[in-house]
Amino acid sequence: MADFSFRNAPNRPLDRPFHGAGGGADLSERKDIDDRFKWKLELIFPDWESWEACFAKVEEALPGLAAFQGTLAQSGAGLLATIEAIHIEQRELEKALVFAGMKSDEDTRIGENTARKGRVSSLAVRFSEAVSWFESELLEIAPERLQELIAEEKGLALYEHFFHNIHRGRAHTLSAEQEALLASAGLMARGAGQVFNAFDNADLQFESIDDENGNELALTKARYYKFIKSRHREVRQAAFNKFLDAYGGMRNTLAANMDANVKNHVFFASARQHEGTLEAALHPDGVPPQVFHSLVDTVSGNFDTIHRYTVLKKRVLGLADLQEFDLSVPLFGKGEFKFEYDAACTMLMEAFKPLGEDYLKTVKGGIDGGWIDVHENVGKRSGGYSNGVYDTPPYILLNWAEQLGDTFTLAHELGHSMHSWLSVNHQPYVYGDYPIFTAEVASTFNELLVMDHLLKTSDSPERKLYLLDYHLSQINNTVFRQTMFAEFEHRIHVMGEEGQTLTADSLGALYQELLHKYWGPEAAFDIVRSPLTWTRIPHFFYNYYVYQYATAYSAAVALSRKVLAGGDSDREQYLDILRSGCSKYPVETILLGGVDMATSRPMEDVVALFGSLIDQVEELLD
């Protein structure tokens, strides 16, 4: 990593896109869930007393870290000692961050855990302030002198890519005093995201609805994702209406919060003299902006193929008006099947066999060894993620509801966790992390292996139709929908760069425009509720995060086809991508597998795959 930031910490977990849970009154309390289905956070700290000791140790070290300022150019040994001292405390701080964050996520109602999460977040800001001078001072060292320091201290050779990454940001790094000021603003910069997280996970309340059997149930996020796929149209319409009405009641507040979020990104992009927010967001990972623009342009140039999916949905469902609440319902419900958690784990071990025995052994060890928090409980954070740091297991949060989607979520998050495990076990700390850009390749790759396995082992035409539609839905949600989100995100940031104030009306109008653009003329949208959908997407606070789902999927398609069709060398070439951590820039890392993300070819291949899946469905129907 080029800076001293926090890898996969609770403010930036590796998330499964938009799969949720909630806090209904009839859910289990956490204490009533079998320990076998809970993650073992005691592998990080046995208790809060140990956490407090770690907190105090880092806090006490901050003055010493700040005292290194002004010494970097004196000697190679001194430069190495400074880096190692900072990394020692950073590693401890990262453990404290993820522990507090995940304990809070277990039950967001527990105020003292929320307070501890806030305390360690404040400590992280103070840590950043204490070392904020580092990059500015390193950049003040003339390149010739830096090479002399590396030559006199052979231990610095390890950090050459680290140094290069910092020097790449020379034009965007400020003086030590200015860097300290920006670092001190870090806590405020998280404000909009923290506000949304508190609203979305702790305070948001949904009304009850009647299920298919007329039973009144509390609507939760996990249940919403179930109800929106119901074969009963009145159930999915009621779920859609109640769900968005809960957010819509706060639309003006949420719009003001989004405006603050965008203005925050604009401020930091401007302060660091980037051309715009997109360039600022892509800069840390060295991703060329043309990768983003190629994605949006290629998808926009292939709407004819994408809109075939809407036509297919309308045909199979037999609806004269295909509404937004109809878009998620599976087209071939008779072929639907589900997995209990243990059965899903067994199936995944079969699907992952192309990745080799070592991969399988580690996955099994993680499943049995406390990596995974499985079931929904009252107050638990929504969604699914993989979260961990260099010195912790790569934990996984789930909210299991026995849908097939939960199985794919588990495969997805195991991809992230195995990426973390391979990176940590093959790279030193400085390169033991990886950017989201490559992270989503590992997770999506696993999903593609699962789909391939299920299609090969299913000989029922009904189940094949169900799986083909599920595959279409995966591509639509992971590629085309994320591209729509990416375009929305970019356009609201451009509005912010132009000095416009984002309002509920302007955000809703833009979102409605994009819904029509991406779904095509065969879909109809509620003029009241559909424009509210942006209000419930947490990823808009992650700063140009979502486009990477789409780019990663296209890379994963190419890489998984190679592994499935190839031999040991193809598998090892793919695993080398995961083992490389952040020792290379992400586009360069993906090139290890022969995929160039700066071109339109990977996305064109995904569009072609999407069209071929529609062809297969139509052939089975005809």
Q: How far apart are CA 104 and CA 261, in angstroms?
A: 23
Q: How far apart are CA 418 and CA 446, in angstroms?
A: 10
Which residue is it, tokens 């910092």? Answer: 166
Taking a C-beta distance cutoff of 8 angstroms, is the pair 373, 38 a contact? yes
Strands 216-218 and 208-210: antiparallel
* 397, two tokens: 């949060």
Burial of 72 (0-12, 13-18, 19+ CB in 10 A): buried
Strands 14-15 and 385-387: antiparallel
Q: How far apart are CA 507 and CA 512, in angstroms?
A: 9
- The beta-strand segments (E) located in 197-274 are 208-210, 216-218
Of 242, 338, 236, nearest in space to 22 by CA: 242
What's the N-to-C CA distance of the chain in angstroms?
Answer: 54
Q: How far apart are CA 559 and CA 573, in angstroms?
A: 9
Q: At what angle do helices 133-140 and 160-168 cross, to 10 degrees?
A: 90
C-beta neighbour count of 166 within 10 angstroms:
19
Q: How far apart are CA 608 and CA 129, in angstroms?
A: 49
Q: How far apart are CA 364 and CA 195, in angstroms?
A: 37
Q: How far apart are CA 382 and CA 467, in angstroms?
A: 26
Q: How far apart are CA 63 and CA 60, in angstroms?
A: 7
Taking a C-beta distance cutoff of 8 angstroms, is the pair 100, 48 a contact? no
C-beta neighbour count of 318 within 10 angstroms:
6
Catalytic residue among 106, 413, 447, 487: 413
Burial of 508 (0-12, 13-18, 19+ CB in 10 A): buried
Taking a C-beta distance cutoff of 8 angstroms, is the pair 98, 108 a contact? no
Q: How far apart are CA 188 and CA 21, in angstroms?
A: 28
413 flagged as catalytic: yes
Quote the DSSP letter at residue 34.
Answer: -
Strands 216-218 and 395-400: unpaired
Phi first, then psi: what are they for 580, rounded to 5°? Answer: -80, -10
Q: How far apart are CA 251 and CA 497, in angstroms?
A: 22
Burial of 12 (0-12, 13-18, 19+ CB in 10 A): middle
The catalytic residue positions are 413
